[in-house]
Amino acid sequence: MNEPDTREWLLTNGLGSFASGTLSDAHTRTYHGWLFAAIDPPSDRRLLLSRIDATLETSGQQFELGTNFWQGGTIAPTGYELLRSFSDQPAPTWEWSTEQWQCTRELLLPYGLAAEGWCNRVLIRYTYQGTNSATLNLRPLIADRNFHHQQQSDPDLHFSQLIDPQRILLQAQRSNWVGTSWQLSWTQGAYHADGLWYRNYCYPEETQRGLGDREDLYSPGYLVVILHPGDTLTLEARVRYPDLVQPPDPLTDATFDRALQLEQQRLDQQFAVHAPIVESKEKLHLWQQLLKAGDRFIVHRASISGPTVIAGYPWFNDWGRDTLIALPGLTLTTGRFEIARGLLATFAQYCQYGLIPNAFPDAGAKPYYNSIDAALWWIETLGLYVEASQDWEFLTEQYPIARRIYKGFFAGTLHDIRVDAFDGLVTWSAPGVALTWMDAVLDGQPVTPRYGKAIEINALWYSALCWLTQWAERSPDPSIANHAARYRQQAEQVKASLQKFWNPERHYFYDAIAPTDHPDPSIRPNAVIALSLHYCGFSEYQAKRVLQVARDRLLTPYGLRSLDPADPQYVGSYAGDVQHRDRAYHQGTVWSWLIGSFIRAWQRFYPDDPLPFDASLLIEHFQNQACLHSVSEIFDGDAPHTPQGAIAQAWSVAELIRHWQDLSQ
């Protein structure tokens, strides 16, 4: 018996809601289900519809199409043995068959944001072909729980249902809590109320991660449908929003095709303005796949009434640093300047203390200002946006925010972030917190402490001063133009001080210089980030040697290791429970987003040399591995570099989009 194919698929709807599962149709994660609805987009994501188990009866035989893992290691039923094919284009489609019959199922998560409001829903369509008619028995399995948790059966937990013709209205209830109201409807069939708990589903991926791995799901009843050859059946799960101006369209046999057509039209409209000239159908197809993959991360945030970027699926929210690093690939390379402008403007609104928040607040909550580099990435990204769009009016609007960041760093701000008056470099000191992108904290202490002056932070600071110089010099406003000389002088000071990071023994940059002036000689990818920014403050001699070391010690086909394998602190496998994984997170684990930094730095200093890695392996990963048509967050540092972490990561996909021409040659 073959093992179930546990590669994954992903659907999103522009609100933070998602559906996800495996190619074999088995659920292996807490985050697998057909409708994780963002009740307060993109937050408060709740699993409502986990799946629908299907049984087909024809010619006196019964065939169970589902596949489930159970506590204790049992797999039952084993519908994956009847599964003949899977495709995620244009929508996830499974085909089960024998010599006598064929049954296909398609899933679609329609785009949820419209002028009249927003709505979370999933469409499911079954199509039957066979020599005889068949009876399809469908049993929905439901929940109402936070997407990070598992549901357990409980005498106090009930699911009420109101039964209408071709529809049931569902709602979870406890003695002191009322859950989300939603509905499940269908185009044909007879529904039978038959409430049952199915206990002890097991999620093997969570077992491996040392997390809770057991779940109980409730089934309110089952649907019986007689299907003749060529018949289709469509179902819809929808969260009911009474404030919608227009009532939903009735569910019909044409609903699925219409929703699929509207989604393709939306994507075509989004990207038609920036269609590249390509020399082959294969390359055009890859570009279209990349555009669709990148679009998954751009969502609507209700609390700010504007766009934001989900850092990664299935478990991350929207974060400032990740959004700004991903922004060039997701919006500038793709010509989505309006979204880029909206994201930059929203961050600007939340600028305080000279800092940009690392997380947008939910309604009524306060932003988190726990990042030293988000503000500097904002200036870097603003510069890239203006260069790409020539939107000088927007720059004029945002210049006061850039000035506020500049003043905040010079005056000193939270976490003792400040500019050292002696050398002009940015330093910080805040025990117990991690303010750079290497932000894992274990037992109250950063796993990768980088207090003091970090290499990429000061490279960003230098680039920011250069951007400010350019903007001031171009400004027709004398009050701004007068700042140019000061900016230029400070940039020159910082450029000279950056030489403190040069380690001649290793021909590499120190990763950080502690407040005690003790330098950290660890070979990490932050040196490559420093060479990849728009303005680079290092010599060609130094850059070439750094890139040679990074190529030999850090580079893999999927990204850069976070630490040199020769370092005693290196951890080559990202595995085990939370503590083991956190210790490995930035201590050798490969980060895919860093491939973009390496490409930009390599092409700057080795413009006539080909990229020194096999780019086809990353393309193959995007197309056929882990999560189909996406890029994983991280990979093991040791070969074969197994994909790990989030199955779809925004900045990983964004850097692939940004450099798709280089990687697909």
Place of tokens 């974060």: 319
pLDDT of 106 reads: 98
pLDDT of 243 reads: 55
Q: What's the Cα-to-Cα distance from 329 to each of 42, 66, 150, 202, 341, rounded to whole Å?
A: 21, 38, 35, 37, 14
Bridge-based pairing of strands 113-114 and 101-108 is unpaired
pLDDT of 250 reads: 87
Burial track 101-125 (b if 16+ CB lie within 10 A, e otherwise): bebbbbbbbbbbeeeeebbbbbbbb
pLDDT of 282 reads: 87
pLDDT of 241 reads: 64
Q: What's the Cα-to-Cα distance from 28 to each of 76, 108, 279, 578, rounded to whole Å?
A: 13, 20, 40, 18
Q: What is the DSSP letter of 79?
A: G
pLDDT of 582 reads: 95
Rounded mean pLDDT for each run of 10 residues along the chain, 665 residues in total = 90 97 98 97 96 97 98 96 96 97 98 83 98 97 98 97 96 96 97 98 96 97 98 95 63 95 92 72 90 96 92 95 98 95 94 91 79 98 98 97 98 97 96 93 92 97 98 94 97 98 98 96 98 98 98 98 98 94 97 98 98 97 98 98 98 97 85
> Is residue 489 a contact partner of residue 497, using CB atoms and an 8 Å limit?
no
> Is residue 465 a contact partner of residue 489, using CB atoms and an 8 Å limit?
no
Q: Cα Rg for the chain, rounded, in angstroms?
A: 26
pLDDT of 364 reads: 67
pLDDT of 281 reads: 86
The span from the CA of 107 to the CA of 648, in Å, is 19
Strands annotated E in 7-154: 8-12, 18-22, 33-40, 43-58, 61-64, 67-69, 75-78, 83-87, 93-97, 101-108, 113-114, 117-118, 121-130, 134-146
The span from the CA of 76 to the CA of 68, in Å, is 5
Which amino acid belongs to residue 615?
A: A
pLDDT of 274 reads: 67
Closest CA to 343 of 389, 308, 390: 308
CA atoms within 13 A of residue 541's CA, in its CB half-sphere: 5
Q: What are the structure tokens assigned to 408, written together?
A: 């905040």
pLDDT of 244 reads: 53
> Is residue 45 a contact partner of residue 36, using CB atoms and an 8 Å limit?
yes
